[in-house]
């Protein structure tokens, strides 16, 4: 079946630095990629939706200059957390939809970000 590879799985960074998270679709073309954030014991919160070759659409309250999303190809989308602060510590997970028109969603394995 469809697989989305997400890296890194865990990252610890210092305040003020930037962290890049990658999601790659294997064996299928991800026309649309969704980026989520999840706090402990809470549900997934959609941060932004990106379509290959165009600018991402951010949800209300999500700072587009802080959370940079790039979807340069049909198999790769990246989320960069810029100038990270401890409050950015969270679990980030991506999800892709197959560009062939199927309605299934495939999730990455997630990235646990800790900012110290």
User: Can you give the binding site for other proteins, defined by CB under 8 A?
Assistant: 31-32, 34, 38, 42-44, 46, 49, 51, 91, 93, 95, 97, 99, 101, 103-110, 112
C-alpha to C-alpha distance for 98 and 105, rounded to whole angstroms: 7
Residue 38 or 89 having the CB closest to other proteins? 38
In the complex with other proteins, the residue whose CB is nearer, 38 or 70, is 38
Dihedral sign computed on CA atoms, order 59, 97, 69, 19: positive
To other proteins, the closest distance from the beta carbon of 108 in angstroms equals 8
Residue with tokens 């003020």: 16
The minimum distance between CB 14 and other proteins, in angstroms, equals 23
Taken in order 86, 25, 69, 82, is the CA torsion positive or negative?
positive
Nearer to other proteins, 15 or 23 (CB): 23
Report DSSP state, residue 54: S
* Residue whose CB is less far from other proteins, 20 or 112: 112
| Phi (first) and psi of residue 88, to 5 degrees | -85, -10
What is the smallest separation between the CB atom of 16 and other proteins, expressed in angstroms?
Answer: 25
């Amino acid at each position: 079946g469809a697989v989305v590879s997400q890296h890194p799985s865990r990252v610890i960074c210092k305040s003020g630095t930037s962290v890049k998270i990658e999601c790659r679709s294997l064996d299928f073309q991800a026309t649309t990629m969704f980026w989520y954030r999840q706090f402990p014991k809470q549900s997934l919160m959609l941060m932004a939706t990106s379509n290959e070759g165009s600018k991402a659409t951010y949800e209300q309250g999500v700072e587009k200059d802080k959370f940079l999303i790039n979807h340069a190809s049909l198999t790769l989308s990246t989320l960069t957390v810029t100038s990270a602060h401890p409050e950015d510590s969270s679990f980030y997970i991506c999800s892709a939809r197959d560009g062939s028109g199927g309605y299934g969603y495939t999730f990455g394995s997630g990235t646990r970000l800790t900012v110290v």
